[in-house]
């Protein structure tokens, strides 16, 4: 026997961005820098370069990197009990379910590991509920074009972006897409054969588009009139990002099913589907499940995250930070009308739409930003997106704005060459 195994030898060999191209299935095109350490909104790469992270790991790291209280919750649970399987329940999952139902319209929670799985559970529950109550012909699901609900075959088909479904046909049938915020289109298709209508209160991947309050209100009324369930996908906009715990609270329109994931675990994978007693009872023992769903490690972390975010003072600060950041971004847009058109979004979910001349070039801004120590996202080719940790300070907002201005100058200079 070798003293050092092959696996151990490999673990000691340096890995770089190049390694990604050698050993990973090519589903992503990651940046050339490889982050190795984070703290709050600060991040460092393999070379020791510093970045201000305004991506929040795509709306996941709401409390920033390695938040001490969340780390403590993880450490404590890691030394107590990791996993027991669904033949047993556990204390952290029951505490989290209690906290989430106390905090929302919901009576019941189902836990899983991602946003796609939360939506998959929601769509399956809506089908089962309608089948039981109205019969199998009530099976159609209505969603919006440009929406995003995950990457399983069912959720990606419900999502309204053909670029994500091409080549994966045949797709599940009985799905209809309507334009976001189009009340007339909703009226035309939400009829008696519809079992569910699903919408993101603020579209994320689709370009940071807030729903019009009248649109969500109209969907609520159409669902009530036809017996369809209204599902809000708050995987990206939930958990305090809009300044309320969930965006539905701000709109004053209550869904029948709510899905949440991304920020729920602050980076520890977990998703949840929340609903009422009456709807939950359409599922029975064996109807649905997942091995890791509601695992003690994930739920202990999520409970701590929820306790920190769901306080009036924390949420009030999110709104204050959002107002400050948005106002300063509007000044940037005003100073660079050749590059940007307008700022939109809700709370700390912010998009900057590119000008006519810079359509399709949002990525040039995020690339220049990275070279200037600033991490930003895009939401499609025409929108620069910011999803900073909700704990962003005023000093970090100023630093972000300064680096953004430098980056836009650099992008303009590169353009002029």
Ligand X SMILES: *Cc1c(COP(=O)(O)O)cnc(C)c1O
Distance (Å, whole) CA 167 – CA 394: 46
Count of residues engaged in binding ligand X, rule: CB under 6 A: 15
Of 211 and 404, CB closest to ligand X: 211
Of 111 and 148, CB closest to ligand X: 148
Of 6 and 163, CB closest to ligand X: 163
Residues 6+ apart with CB under 8 A from 95: 299, 303
Measure Cα distances from 364 to 28, 33, 75, 331, 353 in Å: 18, 16, 40, 20, 13
116 scored as a contact of ligand X (CB under 6 A): yes
Distance of closest approach, residue 234 Cβ to ligand X, in angstroms:
7
Determine the 3-state secondary structure of 27 from DSSP. Answer: coil
Distance of closest approach, residue 128 Cβ to ligand X, in angstroms:
21
- Cα angle at 379 between 267 and 274, to 5 degrees? 50
**DSSP secondary structure, 167-198, as one string:** TSPSPPSSEEEE-TT-HHHHHHH--TTEEEEE
Q: Please, is 20 exposed, middle or buried when counting C-beta atoms within 10 Å of its C-beta (0-12, 13-18, 19+)?
A: middle
- Of residues 45-104, those binding ligand X (CB under 6 A): none
Measure Cα distances from 332 to 67, 190, 323, 398 in Å: 30, 42, 14, 12
Among 14-22, 143-151, 301-309, 401-409, the segment contacting ligand X (CB under 6 A)? 143-151
Distance of closest approach, residue 402 Cβ to ligand X, in angstroms:
29
- Of residues 154-213, those binding ligand X (CB under 6 A): 200, 204-205
Residue (of 194, 191, 247, 239) closest to 216 by Cα position: 247
* Nearest residue to ligand X, scored by beta-carbon proximity: 115
Of 196 and 397, CB closest to ligand X: 196
Of 105 and 164, CB closest to ligand X: 164
Among 111-119, 161-169, 347-355, 407-415, the segment contacting ligand X (CB under 6 A)? 111-119
Which of 55, 90, 157, 236 binds ligand X (CB under 6 A)? It is: 236
Of 202 and 329, CB closest to ligand X: 202
Distance (Å, whole) CA 415 – CA 310: 45
345 scored as a contact of ligand X (CB under 6 A): no
Distance (Å, whole) CA 122 – CA 110: 9
Distance of closest approach, residue 49 Cβ to ligand X, in angstroms:
27
Determine phi and psi for 407, rounding to 5 degrees: -70, -40
Among 38-46, 100-108, 144-152, 305-313, the segment contacting ligand X (CB under 6 A)? 144-152
Among 47-55, 145-153, 304-312, 358-366, the segment contacting ligand X (CB under 6 A)? 145-153
Distance of closest approach, residue 147 Cβ to ligand X, in angstroms:
8
Among 90-98, 108-116, 243-251, 293-301, the segment contacting ligand X (CB under 6 A)? 108-116
- Of residues 299-328, those binding ligand X (CB under 6 A): none
Determine the 3-state secondary structure of 44 from DSSP. Answer: strand
Of 200 and 250, CB closest to ligand X: 200
- Cα angle at 54 between 53 and 55, to 5 degrees? 95
115 scored as a contact of ligand X (CB under 6 A): yes
Which of 247, 261, 309, 339 binds ligand X (CB under 6 A)? It is: 261
For the chain, the C-alpha Rg in angstroms (whole number) is 22
CB contact burial 233-250 (16+ within 10 A = b; e otherwise): bbbbbbbbbbbbbbbbbb
114 scored as a contact of ligand X (CB under 6 A): yes
Of 38 and 206, CB closest to ligand X: 206
Helix or strand run (H / E) with residue 202: strand 202-203
Distance of closest approach, residue 371 Cβ to ligand X, in angstroms:
27
- Of residues 26-45, those binding ligand X (CB under 6 A): none
Token digits of residue 190: 């939400």
Token digits of residue 371: 């070279």
233 scored as a contact of ligand X (CB under 6 A): yes
150 scored as a contact of ligand X (CB under 6 A): yes
Of 384 and 404, CB closest to ligand X: 384
* Phi-psi map region of 44: left, alpha, beta (phi>0 left; psi -120 to 50 alpha): beta
Of 149 and 403, CB closest to ligand X: 149
Of 119 and 139, CB closest to ligand X: 119
The site for ligand X (CB under 6 A) is made up of 114-116, 119, 148-150, 200, 204-205, 233, 235-236, 261-262
């Amino acid at each position: 026997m070798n003293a050092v195994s092959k696996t151990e030898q490999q673990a000691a060999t340096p890995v770089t961005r190049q390694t990604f191209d050698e050993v990973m299935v090519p589903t992503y095109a990651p940046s050339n820098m490889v982050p190795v350490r984070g703290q709050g909104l600060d991040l460092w790469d393999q070379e020791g370069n510093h970045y201000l992270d305004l991506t929040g790991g795509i709306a996941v790291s709401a409390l920033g990197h390695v938040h001490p209280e969340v780390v403590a919750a993880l450490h404590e649970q890691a030394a107590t009990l990791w996993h027991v399987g669904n033949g047993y329940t556990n204390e952290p999952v029951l505490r989290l379910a209690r906290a989430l139902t106390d905090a929302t319209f919901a009576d019941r929670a189902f836990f899983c590991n991602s946003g796609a799985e939360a939506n998959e559970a929601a769509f399956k529950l809506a089908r089962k509920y309608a089948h039981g109550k109205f019969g199998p012909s009530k099976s159609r699901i209505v969603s919006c074009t440009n929406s995003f609900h995950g990457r399983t075959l069912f959720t990606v088909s419900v999502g309204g972006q053909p670029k994500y479904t091409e080549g994966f046909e045949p797709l599940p049938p009985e799905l209809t897409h309507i334009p976001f915020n189009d009340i007339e289109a909703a009226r035309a298709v939400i009829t008696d054969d519809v079992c569910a209508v699903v919408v993101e209160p603020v579209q994320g991947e689709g370009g940071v588009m807030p729903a019009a309050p009248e649109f969500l209100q109209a969907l609520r009324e159409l669902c009530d009139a036809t017996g369809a369930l209204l599902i809000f996908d708050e995987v990206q906009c939930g958990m305090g990002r809009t300044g309320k715990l969930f965006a539905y609270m701000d709109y004053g329109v209550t869904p029948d099913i709510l899905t949440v994931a991304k920020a729920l675990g602050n980076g520890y994978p977990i998703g949840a589907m929340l609903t009422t007693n009456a709807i939950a009872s359409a599922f029975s023992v064996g109807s649905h499940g997942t091995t890791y769903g509601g695992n003690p490690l994930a739920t202990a972390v999520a409970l701590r995250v929820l306790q920190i975010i769901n306080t009036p003072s924390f949420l009030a600060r999110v709104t204050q930070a959002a107002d400050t950041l948005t106002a300063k971004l509007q000044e940037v847009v005003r100073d660079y009308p050749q590059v940007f058109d307008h700022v939109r979004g809700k709370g700390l979910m912010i998009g900057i739409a590119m000008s006519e001349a810079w359509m399709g070039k949002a990525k040039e801004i995020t690339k220049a930003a990275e070279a200037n120590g600033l991490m930003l996202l895009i939401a499609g080719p025409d929108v620069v997106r910011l999803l900073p940790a909700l704990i962003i300070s005023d000093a970090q907002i100023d630093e972000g704005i300064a680096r953004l201005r430098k980056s836009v100058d650099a992008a303009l200079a590169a353009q002029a060459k």
